[in-house]
Structure 1
C-alpha cells in the first residue's frame, strides 16, 4: 500500500487493531503479574521479619499500581517507537528492583514522605481513573483534579513515595535504583509529551498548566 493510500499513518503512532491490542495487553499483564509476584514475595518476607511500615507501604503502593494497570483503558493510539516501548517498560518495572535494606526501624521523616507520596497517588489515580498506561499513548486528555497543577501528577507521586522508601531503606543499591527510576520517569514524560502534543486539546492544556512534574521546578 502506498503512503498516499493512508495519509494518516505515522511511523511512530498508529491506531492498533483490536486483536493486536488485546494480544499486547494480555502479554504485558502476564509479565506484570509475574514480576510483581517476585517483588511481593521479597518485600512480604521482609515485612514479616522486621514488621516495618515502609515495607508494608511499598507493597500497598505497587499493588495499587498493578491493579490500575490491569484495568487500564484501551488507548486511542499508542507510540510504536522502540525507544518509547523500552523507556515505558523499564520505567514501569524498575521499581521492583528496590530491596529491603535490613535496618530494624524506619525514620519518622521517611514515613511521612512515603505516606505523602501514597496520598498523592490516591488523588492522581482519582484524577487519571483508568487512563494509566505503560507505553506512551493517548487514552484521553485529563485536565481536572491534580492535572490543574502539573501535567503528570502520577509521576510526582512516584518521586515522593519511592523517595520515602529510599530514606527508610537506605542502601547504595536502593539509592542507585531510585536515581535510575527518576531518570526513566523523566524520559517517559518526554516520550508521552511528544505523542500527546499531537492532540490539539493537549496543546491547549499544556499552555494552561506550565509544569510537567513539580510546580515551580520542572
Structure 2
C-alpha cells in the first residue's frame, strides 16, 4: 500500500496563519506590557522571527512534507492527547502575556542579564533541535497517533540517536527560555505547568509507541533515554 501524506493547507488557511499569528504575538506581548515601545518585546520578536525563519527555509528544502504533517491535528489523534494539549497550549501561550505584564508593565522581576541571555540561548537551542528533529522525521505531527496510512516507521537518526523525544526536550527549552528572555520570573509558573504536562505526555506517547509501532520497542532498548540522557 502506498503511503498517503496529509493534504496541503488551503490558501485561505495559509493566509490566515500569515496574518493572525503575527498579530496574535504582537497582542500577547505589547497589550499586557502597555506600550509598543517596550524594547525587550521587540528584541524577543526579532530573535523568534530570525530563528523560526531560518528553520522554515531549511525545512522547506530538506523535508517539505513536514508542513502538511503539522498543518492540523489529523484524524486518529488520541483523546487523552487532545485533553493534555487543551492545557499545555494555553499554559505555553500564557508565558508571553504573563512575562510582558510582569516585566513590561509592573517591572516586578529583576532578572539578571546572564539569565536573560540564557533564556535566548534556550530559545535558539529549542528552535534548532526542533528543526533538526523535523528535518529527519516526516512523521513529526502535532498530535499523538499511529500514522498507519503514512506507513509510519521508527526514526533513529539525527537527534533520535540520543533521545527518543528530542522535540519535547526542545519544547522545554523554549518554554523556560521565553520567560527568561523576556525578563520575568513569574512567567516561569505557566512554563513549569506546560513543562510538567509535557513530561506526562512524553511518557504516555512513549508507552503507546512501544505497544503499537513496529520496531519501536527494540529502538527503545537501543536508545534508553526519553528526554534527558542520564536522567530519563
| TM-score (norm. length: structure 1) | 0.67
In the alignment, is the contact (CA less than 8 A) between 2:66 and 2:140 conserved in 1? yes
For residue 133 of structure 1, give the secondary structure of its aligned residue in structure 2: coil
For residue 78 of structure 1, give the secondary structure of its aligned residue in structure 2: coil
For residue 71 of structure 1, give the secondary structure of its aligned residue in structure 2: helix
Please state how far the C-alpha of 1:156 moved relative to its aligned partner: 1.1
1:150-181 deviation digits (Å, cap 9, x = unpaired): 00001111111332222222435411111011
1:40 matches 2:54: no
Q: CA RMSD in A?
A: 3.9
* TM alignment of 1:1-218, pairs within 5 A: 33=17, 36=21, 39-42=24-27, 45=30, 49-50=38-39, 52-58=42-48, 71-72=68-69, 78-80=76-78, 82-99=79-96, 100=100, 101-102=103-104, 107-128=116-137, 130-139=138-147, 140=152, 141-197=154-210, 198-218=212-232
Residue segments in structure 2 that go unaligned for 5+ positions in a row: none
For residue 137 of structure 1, give the secondary structure of its aligned residue in structure 2: coil
CA distance 1:37–1:188, change in 2 (3 Å): farther
For residue 138 of structure 1, give the secondary structure of its aligned residue in structure 2: coil
Please state how far the C-alpha of 1:123 moved relative to its aligned partner: 1.5
CA distance 1:170–1:44, change in 2 (3 Å): closer
Aligned residues: 191
CA distance 1:194–1:76, change in 2 (3 Å): farther
For residue 227 of structure 2, give the secondary structure of its aligned residue in structure 1: coil
In the alignment, is the contact (CA less than 8 A) between 1:116 and 1:160 conserved in 2? yes
Please state how far the C-alpha of 1:70 moved relative to its aligned partner: 5.2
Residue segments in structure 1 that go unaligned for 5+ positions in a row: 1-17
CA distance 1:131–1:150, change in 2 (3 Å): same
1:49-99 deviation digits (Å, cap 9, x = unpaired): 31543343345667879x99752179998354x322211343345322122
Q: Distance in 1 between matches of 2:146 and 2:87?
A: 19
CA distance 1:60–1:156, change in 2 (3 Å): farther
